[in-house]
Chain A
């Protein structure tokens, strides 16, 4: 009989079980066990402390006091995957980051769950078309709950958590996968080759690559570089003519040719011209604000924007036109070390070589990536047309996912004949480090990777640290884990479409980003917003500054080890200001509030009373609270004073901006140096401290909040009535051909936009000078010789946001 029983086929077995359950007392007991088992698990979900992009900020807010995820037993965010049950994939999954995510998931023990938070994590979202974006985390991990939204509000995330709890409560201990005999195999970690390689699809990729190449879609129109026109002697153009004559006299005849308001320099003598302008010209152009490149039909044009921190005034713009065959230009790092990362970015995205650069290698993408993606002839896998609207969307717009029309059914492309079998990733190159003290001790340095998944790196930022004992011998920032192709997408967007994308740069300060973009394009359009709109813009920009500094200080304390308590109090104030943003624009974080020549919609009536109460009554108390309890706190000053010093000269040379620059004794603020909007009407200080350490940067932020409140009080009192919306609202606005560099003092520093228009409705070149990115250039200088524990504090004091660092 026993033997018969074993031989029963599964259906009979099931029938038997049903029969037993009908007659015996097993059922309720069974249910009780399941109930208890699920009750325990669903009320103690420990999420992994892991955030990717904008959505992570909302995830942090969910854990803060207003939404309080602790009410669901899920407040224990674990830094180690071994202790976590839930992975909240909060934000854009990039190709560079996905190997780490898969690895983390593999390290999580069962039972484990995945919530895909936001449109990006679910399918690539608004960045789906980008060349470095994975079309949804479910291509690699099994997802339990999807929550759509961009970003989902904290309440929406809580709803997702409740949905997950519901799913858990319907599981049975008898059928769950982690007690079965057949365990799920680990998910193989994808490789970074010419593009992302999903090793499970090796054969498929090989087969498709062997096929004859499909005809390429038509390339976007590439215009020739703007002609060097005999300049009209007026204002800025006249200044350029005079400067070119001086340069030709001092550096050599024929070096500089004026082109409108800019100077076209012989590429080979760019370093000489730079040195002359910085040291001998009397202009004291000591600050290299922006360095980027544009792809034209006949050349690559490397663009430099120079300012003086001593003499306020407009930029001096230099251009070096290099031929397309083998583009090379001398590096400017010996003159301005701040050119370091920016030149690497141009090399990475455009393939222009900078001769004499200390370590010219890819910065946003990885070694081995095929192609230079910002070149106009680089077409992404999901490329449809060079400008939006995509013709597949309207009139006969039947829904089709981008995956369904590409050969690999995914956002990848490989060179013809590529064989992923046995592919080995290219190794990362780092500078070797030697230290004399180590030779004597007969020991070696230790390499530590902080990040890209680390709770204190403020996002997916990685620092490769070489340790000599406890001290830093070398540090190299590694970034690009959130590079979501803002500029490439921006060049396909129409001008108005870029507004919501700018929100997602520095997602703590979206209003400030909107303002910078609006101002730059307004320069080209020659429009001026009405008076009321100007005031609204200033109010929003200054509220943003307060929000940002609360956040920065809260998380600096977090980094110092005061885990979450100060941040909780800071987030509370931020929440109230976000209520104002939500009221006016409809979204807490992604405001998308400004337009060319105004704002989207006038303020709602309930805005002013609440703003006035906050600014006059609540925020002063809150800032005073921070100031009183923290500024003289012995632990804070003990950890911050004399740590991470950035000397004054270095701060300028490394193009540091914002609070980092001002904490090093340079009183430089774009609102004063080159006043935009109506900042010239407000009376405020530029708080400056000389020490250049973490403590000074903290104090600059506190002082700036007081100054912002001063501006806000005045603006709220004086705001006039009238229209706030632009006089003409156009969805397909065309911008006259030309170029502009506009900059604003964002809370993190100088945010600049460089836009080239060819007269169509989308920008020909769209570049963002990101303060978070450039402020990292002097990071090694600040950290060298410091203790490893202080690196976290130093990074916290720079205050970076990865959306802006990697763009």
Chain B
């Protein structure tokens, strides 16, 4: 004889088990120092899976990308200036941007000659697809992907067009959200500088020798 409904009970038992485990595991999570404050659930973790946003927030992995930001050399709270900005208006980010959401105006000096700085840099965040190609191909580490995703607005016509002032963040901020990438960039910079110094030193050594021989 076939008994109907057993499968139904079996299904309900899954939910029941989960319900009970959410308490047993939950107690552990509340009272364990190791697990406290850890909102991204461990792959073998049990119990409640929910992240209580906005009180808790998932820790974003370093490579997480939302919108691009421009980098200037400085500390948080500083204001960017043409001296500290890293962008050289080379335009590679605009050239590689798939939906073409980057607009750049190259700066000009007093005599009207173009200089390798951006005077205007605009990103239409309504078109940006958060793909990160601009960051990947920027030769100057001048554009990076931000982690800030809490950007809901009531209006879009004005506030969704990010201009150069809104886009600029400090190297300090960049180092804070991308510690590993920052360390890598700095190491590379240092190595490059050393190489350059060594080359310069070698050239300097060579030069006096040459001048002597000329004499």
B133 interface residue (CB < 8 Å to A): yes
B131 touches A500 (CB 8 A): yes
B151 touches A156 (CB 8 A): yes
B63 touches A393 (CB 8 A): no
A393 touches B102 (CB 8 A): yes
A262 interface residue (CB < 8 Å to B): no
B103 interface residue (CB < 8 Å to A): yes
Which residues 576-635 of A have a CB within 8 angstroms of B? Answer: 576, 579, 582-587, 590, 592, 600-601, 604, 610, 613-614, 617-618, 625, 629, 632-635
A148 touches B94 (CB 8 A): no
Set of chain B residues within 8 Å of A613, measured between Cβ atoms:
43-44
A500 touches B98 (CB 8 A): yes
Interface-forming stretch among A158-166, A453-461, A644-652, A741-749?
A158-166
Please, how many angstroms separate the alpha-carbon atoms of A582 and B62 in the complex?
A: 9
B167 interface residue (CB < 8 Å to A): no
User: 1/0 per position for B119-161, CB-CB distance to A under 8 A?
Assistant: 0101011111111110011000000010001111111100011
Distance from A800 Cβ to chain B, minimum over Cβ atoms (Å): 23
B54 interface residue (CB < 8 Å to A): yes
Known: A119-B127, A592-B131, A618-B43. A395 touches B57 (CB 8 A): no
B77 interface residue (CB < 8 Å to A): no
Interface centre among B49, B65, B136, B145 (most CB of A within 10 A): B49
Please, how many angstroms separate the alpha-carbon atoms of A754 and B63 in the complex?
A: 32
Please, how many angstroms separate the alpha-carbon atoms of A614 and B132 in the complex?
A: 27
Interface centre among B63, B89, B152 (most CB of A within 10 A): B152
Set of chain B residues within 8 Å of A496, measured between Cβ atoms:
96, 133
Distance from B55 Cβ to chain A, minimum over Cβ atoms (Å): 10
Set of chain B residues within 8 Å of A129, measured between Cβ atoms:
99
Please, how many angstroms separate the alpha-carbon atoms of A21 and B132 in the complex?
A: 55
Distance from A774 Cβ to chain B, minimum over Cβ atoms (Å): 26
Interface-forming stretch among B9-17, B25-33, B190-198, B206-214?
B9-17
Please, how many angstroms separate the alpha-carbon atoms of A243 and B211 in the complex?
A: 74
A126 touches B127 (CB 8 A): yes
A112 interface residue (CB < 8 Å to B): no
In-complex Cβ contact of A393 among B7, B103, B160 (8 A): B103
Please, how many angstroms separate the alpha-carbon atoms of A600 and B134 in the complex?
A: 13
Q: In this complex, what residue of B is CB-closest to A68?
A: B50
Known: A399-B161, A586-B61, A614-B43. A393 touches B94 (CB 8 A): yes
A136 interface residue (CB < 8 Å to B): yes
Distance from B82 Cβ to chain A, minimum over Cβ atoms (Å): 17
Please, how many angstroms separate the alpha-carbon atoms of A575 and B50 in the complex?
A: 11
10 nearest interchain CB pairs? A397-B103, A123-B126, A500-B131, A586-B63, A126-B99, A497-B98, A126-B129, A399-B122, A394-B91, A160-B152
Interface residues of A (CB under 8 A from B): 65-68, 71, 116, 119, 122-129, 136, 138, 143-150, 152-153, 155-156, 158-160, 162-163, 167, 388-390, 392-399, 401, 493-494, 496-501, 503, 565, 569, 572, 575-576, 579, 582-587, 590, 592, 600-601, 604, 610, 613-614, 617-618, 625, 629, 632-635, 729, 731-732
User: What are 15 A-B residue pairs whose CB atoms fall within 8 Å in the complex?
Assistant: A119-B128, A123-B124, A124-B126, A125-B129, A144-B154, A146-B155, A156-B150, A158-B53, A390-B100, A397-B94, A586-B132, A604-B62, A617-B43, A629-B10, A729-B137
